[in-house]
Amino acid sequence: MRVLVLADGGPEAGLGHVSRATGLTAALRERGVEVDAQVLEPTDHVQSLEAADVVVLDSYRVQPEDLSTTAPVVAFHDAGDTPDGAALVVDGARFEHACLKPAFWNLPARELSDAVELVVVSTGGGGAWADYPGHVRRALPHATVVAVRGPYAEGDPPDGVEVLEAPESLAEVLLKADIAVVGAGQTMLEAAAAGTPTVSVVLVDNQRRQAERLAALEAVVLADPRSLAPGVAALSSDPEWRHRLSVHAQAAIDGQGARRVAALVEELG
């Protein structure tokens, strides 16, 4: 069986599509499936896909009906109308199908400190990444604040904020952090799987549905730029609240979603 995985990439697409594709690719290969994973840049035109038994598509630019293939298509879906022409739709707001990288697959229940000493801030591959660490720095002047600079980010964060340059994985820093401040996309799901108490900001509209669902489960705290500093300060001062968030987050995102989706993909072949 051969599976072709296609995922949006580049500055405008962010990193979430490629991250999901990476997790699913690893899970398929774990099952012995041959996988060809490709990043779709904005100028790419998908040619004939005759060699694939199944095509997995994680894209806003390309729709299943655009593909020149007779193979069944698996489409990731976050917002808008459900894709037509897909044999299987993977809904981003169904957390049992959250496709995370292998570093998040088998994490134990999180043990938290009562004190907040380290806060990690990650708001995607680029954009206004330098604004949010300043809010956190002002809210928690005695904590270490680490800002993740994505591969497409420009500018520098405020004084007193450490920078982590485009790491391959956020697993290590999320497992060390006492609080995470993140965009409401794939990194929010990774922070939840890690059991890191998380304040999340919806940066683009396609993140809203999964963010609101996770907040309704009391697994993350939703904030906007105006409420970010007071929200982080309140969370920092309440160890019991952080513990509840951690437990609920790991219950919602157990890290096994990529394996579940891989089993469904293999059935199509």
CATH number at residue 94: 3.40.50.10350
CATH number at residue 186: 3.40.50.2000
Q: How many separate domains does the chain show?
A: 2
Same domain, yes or no: 23 and 77 = yes
AA letter at 269: G
Same domain, yes or no: 80 and 192 = no
Same domain, yes or no: 133 and 204 = yes
d(CA 195, CA 192): 5
Same domain, yes or no: 117 and 247 = yes
Same domain, yes or no: 175 and 121 = yes
3-state secondary structure of 108: coil
- pTM score, whole prediction: 0.94
Same domain, yes or no: 43 and 140 = no
Task: Decide: 5 and 265 in contact? Cβ < 8 Å.
Answer: no
Task: Provide the domain limits for residue 208.
Answer: 107-252
Same domain, yes or no: 247 and 261 = no
Q: Collect all residues with Cβ–Cβ distance below 8 Å to 17 and sequence separation of at least 6.
A: 7, 8, 9, 58, 59, 76
Same domain, yes or no: 58 and 18 = yes
Same domain, yes or no: 176 and 263 = no
Same domain, yes or no: 79 and 111 = no
AA letter at 12: E
The b-or-e profile of 193-225 (16+ CB within 10 A means b, else e) is bbbbbbbbbbbeebbbbbbebbbebebbbbbee
Same domain, yes or no: 66 and 120 = no
Would you give per-residue pLDDT tens digits along the chain (269 residues)?
Answer: 999 999 998 767 778 999 999 999 999 999 999 999 998 876 555 655 778 999 999 998 888 888 888 999 999 998 778 888 899 999 988 999 999 999 999 999 999 999 999 999 998 766 666 678 989 999 999 999 999 988 877 778 778 999 998 899 999 999 999 999 999 999 999 999 999 999 999 988 889 999 999 999 999 999 998 899 999 999 999 999 999 999 999 999 999 999 999 999 999 98
Same domain, yes or no: 31 and 128 = no
